[in-house]
């Protein structure tokens, strides 16, 4: 069975877990340690480059996600995501993937004429970068 490493800011939904088990053959799910999770979830907008900032996550990938038969779910800040996906592909590490969703939008007109918008996201599948 395979491992799915999690580099993203959310928790897998039960639907995503079932899909990862069925479509990817994942049996183990490993997230970032708390300090790296905070680092990834709070990428500063004022940095010129993210290379040094992401170094601890690159090191974590080196130590944990180097098997190219495993998967790594990477979603978050666009620049950080790009660099981490590129890193995994460059070194032949775990296969980088992302989750796709279907979106439904419900518009409800209120008595005062304002409109309340509700967006519903439902997991559809995982896709390779």
Give 89's DSSP letter.
H
- In the predicted model, what is the mean pLDDT of residues 98-106? 94
Q: Tell me the average pLDDT of the chain.
A: 96
End-to-end Cα spacing for the chain: 21
List of residues 6+ apart from 88 with CB closer than 8 A: 61, 65, 72, 74, 94, 95, 96
* CATH of 2-128 given 3.40.50, 3.30.70, 3.30.780, 2.60.60: 3.40.50
pLDDT per residue over 30-55, tens digit each? Answer: 999 999 999 999 999 999 999 999 99
Comparing 114 with 66, the larger pLDDT belongs to 114
- In the predicted model, what is the mean pLDDT of residues 96-110? 95
- pLDDT band with cut points at 50, 70 and 90 for residue 125: very high
What angle is formed at CA 8 by the lines to CA 54 and CA 19, rounded to 5 degrees? 140
The predicted structure's pLDDT at residue 1: 83
- In the predicted model, what is the mean pLDDT of residues 60-79? 95
């Amino acid at each position: 069975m395979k491992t799915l490493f999690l580099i993203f800011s959310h928790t897998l939904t039960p639907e995503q877990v079932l899909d990862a088990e069925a479509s990817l053959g994942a049996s183990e799910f490993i997230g970032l340690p708390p300090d790296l999770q905070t680092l990834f979830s709070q990428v500063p907008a004022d940095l010129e480059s993210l290379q040094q900032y992401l170094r601890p996550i690159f090191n974590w990938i080196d130590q944990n996600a180097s098997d190219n038969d495993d998967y790594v779910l990477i979603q978050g800040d666009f620049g950080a995501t790009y660099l981490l996906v590129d890193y995994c592909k460059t070194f032949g590490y775990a296969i980088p993937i992302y989750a796709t969703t279907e979106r439904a939008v419900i518009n409800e007109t209120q008595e005062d004429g304002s409109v309340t918008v509700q967006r519903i996201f439902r997991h559809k599948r995982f896709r390779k970068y």
